[in-house]
Amino acid sequence: MAVSWSSSGIDVHLAWRRETGRTGLAAAIRAAIREGRWQPGATVPSTRALAQDLGVARGTVTRVYADLAAEGYLRTAQGAPTRVATAGTLPQSAPRPTPWDPAPRWDLRPGRPDLTAFPRAEWLAATRRALHEMPATELGYSNELGVPRLRETLAGYLARSRGVLADPARIAVCNGYSHALALLTQVLRGRGAAEIAFENPSLYLFRDIVAANGSRVVGVEVDEHGIDVSAVGSPAVVVTAAHQYPMGVPLAPHRRAELTRWANDSGAFVLEDDYDGEFRFDSQQVGALQALAPERVVYAGTASKTLAPALRLSWLVLPRSLVEPVRAAMLDSGTRPPVLHQLALAELIDSGGYDRQVRRRRTEYRSRRDRLLAMLPENLAPRGISAGLHLVLMLPEDGPTEAEVLASCRRRAIGIEGLGSYWMDSPRPGGLIVGYGAAPKHAFNGAAQTLVEALWEVTP
């Protein structure tokens, strides 16, 4: 909750919650500075005064101020008050787009499917069948872990399509992946895991969700083999093993073995975010990591890329030790996807309609990726494997900066993202994350051509 404090003599307004601790306090001050509520050059409250106002230890505020000074947000000097850094010296971070931003004219935003390809007729037919067959008891208060029929259907589907060891009793159906991640963070914190590691780079949105739920977030480097397992020291880690987001590399076999061995030996948990595992183009699908250590790996899947994000359908395949804690957290959250959506998805999978949809989209997205690569300048080689709904283009050192390319894209109404905002530290190499799934089929070639024009405008 946002609260104002004024006993220090300086009115400050911070969107901070006590349970988020030092990490949350630092994030709240950064936000206040970036949004201009703490003006450049302004004096900030003393560590003693702010600690008293917030009801925290003075050392907590002192460490936060020291961290922000090292990052360039604050300016400290012996014998002088701490001030907000001047405008010219404030760190410049890449803007963070949000999922609800309006669609641009040319949509190349990553992580989004072509919404015009939603199988309306098949979904309507599945909904009708589900309604016709649904017993009246399903209209009551639903099971916290999800409708039993969908959990049984998912167990079979995930076993045959992703190699997941899925018992229906260990599946929880959630209101989208963000909901699943928030629930799991709360459960792990309750078990003493106050820190969760993420791949670096990774999607900032999910890191923010973990931080907002009170856990510390740390980064672990990614190379051509995936996450550096030897650097993981947290009690939990989130990985995108089949197709690292955003760099596009799969977790190599030796790293998979190393990660699951580490989890078994240390008692840590791994959250496997299998966000686009159905879309591998150059070879057979990579099986889920979960099968190697089902009691230490939590498998997370979603219908957001195969069908549509608005359905808010995701699922967790849980180790036995986490089933009851997640059930309790689901009950406390009061949030579940609609029963009718769950039954319709079960019907769509059982009828074969879901597999047909996946095959159609896999063929289309592979074609789009190939066409995009054929159009791009040769010095912009993509990173990663042929898979998913996006590719990463690293910018050459002697070429335009990420900011220059993004500005050129904005002038042409292209929706696209830069790599800069995905890193957990800086400076880092610049790049583009190009989504080839979001544009309607009739608009994709125009979007790709407009991107090429934007690149040529800023290329020496």
What CATH number is given to the structural domain containing 420? 3.90.1150.10
User: In degrees rounded to 5, what are phi and psi of residue 272?
Assistant: -95, 105
Same domain for 350 and 371? no
If asked whether residues 310 and 211 sit together in one domain, one would say yes
β-bridge partners, 112 = none
- Please report the pLDDT score of residue 158 as a whole number: 96
- Model pLDDT, residue 413: 94
List b or e across 24-34, with b for residues whose CB sees 16 or more CB atoms inside 10 angstroms: bbbbbbbebbe
Rg for the chain, CA atoms, rounded? 23
Co-location of 348 and 368 in the same domain = no
Task: State whether 129 and 251 are in the same domain.
Answer: yes
- Contact assessment for residue 277 and residue 285, using Cβ atoms and an 8 Å cutoff: yes
The pTM is what? 0.80
Residues 332 and 310 in one domain: yes
Question: What's the pLDDT score for residue 92?
Answer: 55
Q: Which of 320, 338, 354 is the last residue of a domain?
A: 354
What confidence score (pLDDT) does residue 89 get? Answer: 60
Packing angle, helices 353-375 and 120-133, rounded to 10: 160
Note whether 454 and 414 are within 8 A (CB): yes
Q: Are residues 261 and 370 in the same domain?
A: no
pLDDT of residue 35: 65
Residues 393 and 380: beta-carbon distance below 8 Å: yes
Q: Check the CA dihedral 284-312-211-75 and report its sign.
A: positive
List, as one string, the DSSP characters of 25-82. Answer: HHHHHHHHHHTTSS-TTPBPPPHHHHHHHHTS-HHHHHHHHHHHHHHTSEEEETTEEE
Element (H, E) at 177: helix 177-190
According to the model, what pLDDT value does residue 80 have?
Answer: 81
CATH code, domain with 223: 3.40.640.10
Question: How many domains does one find in the chain?
Answer: 3
Nearest to 185 by CA among 158, 160, 210, 157: 210
184 in the same domain as 47:
no
Q: Which of 334, 294, 404 is closest to 141 using CA atoms?
A: 334
The answer to whether residues 147 and 218 belong to one domain is yes
User: Domain check: are 298 and 432 in the same one?
Assistant: no
Segment-wise mean pLDDT, segments of 10 residues, the chain, 460 residues: 44 68 80 77 87 86 83 80 75 59 87 96 97 89 91 97 95 96 95 94 93 91 96 97 96 97 97 95 86 97 96 97 96 89 97 97 97 89 91 88 92 93 84 96 96 89
Q: Residue 53 sits in which domain range? A: 2-89
User: Is residue 311 included in any domain, yes or no?
Assistant: yes
Judge if 62 and 110 occupy the same domain. no
Q: Mark whether 271 and 327 lie in a shared domain.
A: yes
